[in-house]
Chain A
Amino acid sequence: MTITVRGAEKRYVSRGREVRALDNVDLDIAAGEFVAFVGPSGCGKSTLLNMVAGILPLTGGTIRHDGVAVSGINRAVGYMTQVDSVLPWHTVFENVELPLKFRGVPAAERKSRVDAMLARVNLTGFESSFPAELSGGMRKRVALAQVLVYDPGTLLMDEPFGALDAQLKLLMQAELLAIWQATGKTVVFVTHDLSEAVTLASRVIVFSGRPGRIKAIETVPLAYPRDPFKVRFLPEFEACYAKLWAALAPEIAKGEAV
C-alpha cells in the first residue's frame, strides 16, 4: 500500500469552537492507483490531503505513506494545493525549476526538463512571465508543471482543473492520464466534478458531509487507456455516475440544509 489511513480524525479548534472536519476515516490506496475524492464542500477533503502531505497534524489515528508514518512535511509527495501556491516573485520558468534546484539537478538538465514540462502544459512562450501576469487557469498549469517536473511517486491534487474552461480541462485530463499511465504514479485527486472523477479515477471515494466520513467507494468499470473526450458517452460511465450520484446527492442536500 502506498497510503494507509487508519482511524484518521481531525478536529479544528478556532475561536474556542471545535469543528470536527474528519471522523474515523479508514482508507488504503495501492501503488499506482488513481483515486478520486468527491464530497460536499467542507467535508474535509483538503484536510485529508494536507495531513497526507504532513502540513497538518492529525488529532487522532495514523497515516502511513510508503510504509512510513507521516509526521512533519512529507517530501515524498507532489502536492498541488487548492489555493495558489506558485511563488509570485519568481517567473514561470523559475517556479518550475525550483524543485529541481532543491535537488541539486545541474543547470543544463534543469533547463531541458523545465522546457519539456512547460510544453506539456501548453505554457511555452510564458517562461519569463510572472504569475500575476497569467490567468488563473494558466497559474494552475504552472503548479501542475511544478509538481510533475521532479517526478514524485505520489501526486496529491486538490481540484487542479477547477479553474479551467471545459475544453482545456479535457486536454489536461488527457495529459494527466497519459503521464499517469506512462509513469505508474499513485494519484489522489480531489474534485467537485463527478464526471471528472469517473473519467479519470480507477476508484472514487465519496465522503459524507461534515464531519467527513467515507460514505461509499466505487470502482470505475472502465478500462485504460481512456479518452476523456469519449468515455462519458459509454453506458458503463453513465451507470457508474448514477451510482455515485445516488450516494453523493443526499450529502449535498444535507449540507445545504445546515
Chain B
Amino acid sequence: MSAHADEAAAIGGGKTAAVAAWDAEQSARRRLILVGRIVVGVALVAFWEYASGRMIDKLFVSSPSAVSLRLWRWLGDGSLWNHLSITLYATALGFIIGSLVGFVMGLLFGRYRTIADIFDPYITALYSIPKIALAPLFIIWFGIGIESKVAVSASIVFFVVFLNTYAGVRDVNPIYIHATRIMGGNEYHVLRHVMIPSAASWVITGLKVSVPYALVGTVIGEFMSSNRGIGFIIAQATGLFDTTSVFAGLVILGVVGAVINVGLRHAESWLLRWKAQD
C-alpha cells in the first residue's frame, strides 16, 4: 500500500526540481520563439518599406507607412468599425449556423449508418461543388444584403463541420458505447459521455479549419455585390487602383484571422486536455 502513497505523492503537492527545470526550459523556449517572431515581423515590414518606391513601383505595393496612415484614418472616422463589424457579423452568423447544422447532421448520420449510406453519394456530389460557385445563386436568392454572405459562409462551414463530426462519430470505439450502456447509460448518456467527447477532436479540427473559411465566404460574397464590409472596401479600392486601401483591407483580414485562431487554439487545448501530452 505504501507504494501507492508514493505514487500519489509523485503527482501531488509541491514543485519538485524536475518540474521547475521543465518549466524553466519551456519558458526559455517560449521567449526565444516570441523574440524570433518579432524579429521576422520587423524585418518583413522594413524590407517592404525599403523596397516600395525603390525596387517596385509604389503604385503596386503601396508601403507600410501609407497603409498604417490609411488604417489610422479609418479608425478615426469610424469607417473601420463600420465595415469590419458587418464582415464579422456575417462571418459569425455563417459560422454558427453552418457549424450547428453540420454538427447535428454529422451526429445523426454517424448514429444511423443506413441513412448515411443512402445519402452518401449526394453529399459527396454537393461537397465537390466549389461553394464559391454558389455565391451568385445566393445573391439571387437572398439579395445583396447580409443574408447572402451568411449563406455563402454557412454553406462552406457546414460541410467542413459535418464531415468532421460524421468521421468522428464513426470513429467512436464501440467498446465505449457497450460499456456505457451496460453501466446503465441511456441514449442521451451515450451521446453526452461517449459520442460527443470522442468526436470532439474531429469536431474541433473541423471548427478550427472552418473559421477562416467562414471569413473567406463572407469576403467573397462582399466582393461580388455589397455596399459595406471589408470585402467591399477591397473590391472598391481595387477598381480605383488604390493599393494602399487594398493592403489596409488585407491587413485587417489577416489580423482578424490570427486573433480568431489564437482563441480557437486555447479552446481546443482546454477541451482536449484529457489527451496525453506529447
Partner-B contacts on A (CB < 8 A)? 53-55, 73-75, 77-79, 81, 83-85, 87-91, 98-99, 102-103, 122-126, 129-133, 146-147, 150
Contacts and interface: CB of A to CB of B under 8 A. Distances in A.
Contacts of A146: 183
B182 A102 contact: no
B218 interface: no
Contact of B175 (A54, A81, A90, A132): A81
Q: In the complex, which of the residues B5, B175, B189, B198 has the most CB atoms of chain A within 10 Å of its own CB atom? A: B175
Given A81-B179, A89-B274, A90-B193, A102 B185 contact: yes
B175 A88 contact: no
B182 to A, nearest CB: 5
Main secondary structure, interface of A, reads: loop
Q: In the complex, which of the residues B4, B194, B197 has the most CB atoms of chain A within 10 Å of its own CB atom? A: B4
B261 interface: no
Interface in B198-235: 198, 200
A85 B193 contact: no
Main secondary structure, interface of B, reads: helix
Contacts of A129: 11
A70 to B, nearest CB: 12
B172 to A, nearest CB: 11
Contacts of B11: 125-126, 129, 133
A230 B197 CA distance: 45
Given A85-B176, A124-B8, A75 B194 contact: no
6 contacts: A74-B182, A81-B179, A87-B194, A89-B198, A125-B4, A150-B183
A102 B200 contact: no
A87 B182 contact: no
B182 A125 contact: no
Given A98-B193, A132-B274, A85 B179 contact: yes
A125 B102 CA distance: 41
B276 A133 contact: yes
A73 B183 contact: no
Nearest to A99: B183
Contacts of A98: 180, 183, 185, 193
Interface in B154-181: 175-176, 178-181
B140 interface: no
Chain B interface size band reads 20 to 34
Q: In the complex, which of the residues A78, A88, A103 has the most CB atoms of chain B within 10 Å of its own CB atom? A: A88
Closest 8 CB pairs of A and B: A125-B8, A132-B276, A85-B179, A102-B184, A89-B197, A99-B183, A130-B274, A122-B4
Contacts of A124: 4, 8
A79 B274 contact: no
A95 B11 CA distance: 19
B133 to A, nearest CB: 39
A1 B175 CA distance: 28
A79 B180 CA distance: 10
Contacts of A75: 181-182, 184
Contacts of A53: 178, 182
B197 A87 contact: yes
Given A73-B181, A130-B274, A132-B274, A87 B7 contact: no
Contacts of B185: 98, 102
Interface in B238-278: 273-276
A207 to B, nearest CB: 23
Nearest to B4: A122
B130 interface: no
B12 interface: yes
Nearest to A104: B184
Given A87-B194, A102-B184, A132-B274, A79 B8 contact: no
A196 to B, nearest CB: 21
Given A75-B181, A98-B193, A102-B184, 18 more contacts: A54-B182, A74-B182, A79-B182, A83-B175, A85-B176, A87-B180, A88-B275, A89-B198, A90-B274, A122-B1, A124-B4, A124-B8, A126-B8, A126-B11, A130-B273, A130-B274, A131-B274, A133-B276
